[in-house]
Amino acid sequence: MGADLDRLVELLDLEPLEVNLFRGVSPADGRVRVFGGQVLAQALVAAARTVDADRHVHSLHSYFLRPGDPAVPIVFEVDRIRDGRSFATRRVVAIQHGRAIFNLQASFQVFEDGPDHADSMPDVVAPDTIARTDVRPPTAEARRLGAAAGEAGEAEPRDQPIDVRFVQGPHWAGRGAREPDQDVWMRADGALPDDPVVHASVVAYCSDLMLLGTSTLPHRGLVPDDDAGFMIASLDHAMWFHRRCRADEWLLYHCHSPSAAGARGFSRGEVFRPDGVLCVSIAQEGLVRPLSSGHPRDEPSEPNASRG
């Protein structure tokens, strides 16, 4: 594994404090808030640590309540709500400074046979035909340098644990509005352990990287600066794990936003394995507030910031 992926796997390896209590930390990468995908993935790991190994996550539903402080460890408290013969249910509360910043409810199931069908994967170009891209918009300095070089403001990707390839190109490369859809190839930047909990949690981490930003695509160009014209923050996030997948193999993330209203954007995502099989479905709603609306850019009550 690369150094950045090593650090991500370490972040997901929570420290057990007591029965049903775990502690996680955040990377020292200069963020002012904890990345929502990180606390989501860590909470999933905490829940999975309290169920039998033959039970695998099949769904989760979560709410982002307050901004996370990257400088302070996060305590995850797990409530073992139910252990049945086939299913186990867990509730997880992430706590900082004595207050809940995030909660998650997850359900785990033993493997069972049953009816099997799925939507087909979109017909898109292969990932090896697309340049690797940073999941974050370039800094203002990088945009100036790119524009000076005639490269439409693109820049070399910064260090990151996930290899990301935008099929339609990153949204910050152009200033115009476009349809609320994007397809993104993604995989961990190196080999991961075989533990299925690691792969599910890395997929959960990735699921928050670009989904919410899809809801802003039809509205880009309507604000002064396409990269910084919206305050974007996750509100809730749900995932359904239909089939196993490896996060260190190419996965196609198909994102679509059917609605944006009331300063909230709603997006759905589907994750497909390299063989074209649908493995995960995702839904997310988040704050999508134009900064020109008069609201302050940062408010203490807003939930965890999410990348768009």
Alpha carbons within 13 angstroms on the beta-carbon side of residue 71 total: 2
Q: 208 catalytic, yes or no? A: yes
Question: Which candidate, 178, 177, 171, 129, places its Cα nearest to that of 154?
Answer: 171
284 is catalytic: yes
HSE, CB side, 13 Å, CA atoms: give it for residue 50: 25
Chain-centroid distance of CA 114 in Å reads 29
Judge contact between 175 and 220, C-beta under 8 A: yes
Catalytically annotated residue among 62, 105, 201, 234 = 234
Look up residue 60 and give its amino acid: L
Burial of 150 per CB tally in 10 Å (0-12, 13-18, 19+): exposed
Assess contact for 191 and 163: CB atoms under 8 A: no
Note if 234 is an active site residue: yes
Pairing of strands 87-96, 99-110: antiparallel
Q: Which of 38, 42, 201, 284 is catalytic?
A: 284
How far is the CA of 258 from the CAs of 192, 208, 267, 307, in angstroms? 34, 17, 6, 19
The single residue of 163, 183, 189, 208 carrying the catalytic annotation is 208
Q: Which residues have a catalytic role annotated? A: 208, 234, 284
